[in-house]
Amino acid sequence: MSNVGSAWAKAKGRCTRHQEAHVSVESTTGSLTTETGAPVADNQNSETAGVGGLGLIQDQLLIEKLAHFNRERIPERIVHARGAGAYGTFTVTADVTKYTRAKFLSEVGKQTETFLRFSTVAGNLGAADAVRDPRGFALKFYTEEGNYDLVGNNTPVFFIKDAIKFPDFIHTQKRDPYSGSQEADNVWDFWGLSPEATHQVTWLFGDRGIPATYRHMNGYGSHTFQWNNEAGEVFWVKYHFKTDQGIKNLTQDEANKLAGEDPDSHQRDLRESIERGEFPTWTVQVQIMPAAEAADYRFNPFDLTKVWPHEDYPPIEIGKLELNRNPENIFAEVEQSIFSPHHFVPGIGPSPDKMLQGRLFAYGDAHRYRVGINADHLPVNRPHATEARTHGRDGVLYDGRHGRQKNYEPNSFGGPTETGRALWQPFPVSGETGETAAPSHAEDSDFVQAGNLYRLLSEAEKERLINNLAGFIAKVSRDDIAQRAIENFRQADADYGKRLEAAVQALRG
């Protein structure tokens, strides 16, 4: 372990590819110019037809500045709009080559530059940070085999298990088309009719529902992913990022006060901690399941509403993640950063997780809409440790990087060619096509793990959970919607439902 400690110590406080990856900054000296480089004579006064006269459309600088200003915002993300990010370093601390052939994981002490974007889910770009909401934990590894994106949350599970329900779910969390506000009726109507959400709702309304800062929360890949080694053996894995700062959370009252006083609390905390040299770190762990064990595992191992109990597959430490450099420009590097779970590298791939399968399409499609077809060309998104070699051309943001190179394959002019080796191993499929639910395993239930989580809580934690839930359910206008929601928690644990029902009734009078 001395080599591991030495490698980690060397990584502290720096990023191995800082110089190469750093976004270039235009010179701040010399004459002010227009966008096309013409010198600006007067940046204080627009052209008019005489003193005090009407403005002139011939004023190039005025038109250029106003037109640019009108286009300074791209459409915000539908979800995860509110975010903050930082660059850092991932350092390997354990040998995992028997599980994966990914080069960035190939040796102890190896370092890879990263970019991590934190976010809330439901709020818009101008929302407050200190709210009860899952937190996005989107991590980009700039590896020598291309960028690898791990797009997760601060919870190990999610509300739904099939991507076809994602638009419905998010519509319940966003503003109602009539009232223009988030409505408790919509939220609890959907959750009550979707009992699979019971586990994640228990997480969300428990003590970890409002992290005190981005530094003081865990991150999870949440989905199940494939690792494959040089021999072609397949393993299913789940990622865990355990904060080394310790878990810290806010109560609902503390969050209400902080959100009103400092809506940018979490973004400011992250930026200022890095400015002070207090670089946040996470211990990176994985749970590993041999592929042959998946079919008969007691839970569906690809169900995003379930965890793998640690007694079944103990987490194994594989690395350290440190954030040590702030972006120079929030819009260029945080708002325009893009992540997709489809960005894999050799040795890592997808699983039959139905939520993951939908996200493999949806994230890339969202970025092509928001930022443009060439979003991957932007400095924060393009590979830093290798070069992208594609036959894609043209479109918004295209920078002409390919010059006169041919734009097709195969060709006889020395263009890039295929390798013949897939990034991940195939997994078997069988049966007829159709709209089908995932296969059921022995202990698959929407309520078992929610009940287990409830029973792990201390009495004080249970009391806070009940109060948080009851305060929201009590806002529901219809008794049948409120009662159906309560029944899901009763299915998870009789005491859970009984106490919640009493608390709701007390609030509703």
Q: Are 300 and 308 in contact (CB under 8 A)?
A: no
Known active-site residue 218:
no
In this structure, the number of other CB atoms found within 10 A of the CB of residue 420 comes to 5
Question: How far is residue 80's CA from residue 288's CA, in Å, rounded to a whole number?
Answer: 29
User: Cβ neighbours of residue 195 under 8 Å, at least 6 residues apart?
Assistant: 446, 447, 488, 491
d(CA 199, CA 134): 13
- Catalytic one among 147, 153, 228, 468? 153
CB atoms near residue 385 (< 10 Å): 19
* Amino acid sitting at position 8: W
Query: 3, 22, 70, 80: which one is catalytic?
Result: 80
- 80 by Cβ neighbours in 10 Å (0-12 / 13-18 / 19+) ranks as buried
Distances (CA, A) of 326 to 149, 218, 270, 418, 481: 19, 20, 9, 37, 45
What SS3 class is residue 280?
coil
- 228 catalytic residue (yes or no): no
- The HSE-up count of residue 244 (CA atoms within 13 Å, CB side) is 14
Given a contact cutoff of 8 angstroms between Cβ atoms, the answer to whether 191 and 160 are in contact is: no
As given in the structure block, the two tokens for residue 207 are 């003590």
Largest CA distance in the chain: 84
Beta-carbon-side half-sphere exposure of residue 2 (alpha carbons within 13 Å): 0
Q: Where in the sequence numbering do the catalytic residues fall?
A: 80, 153
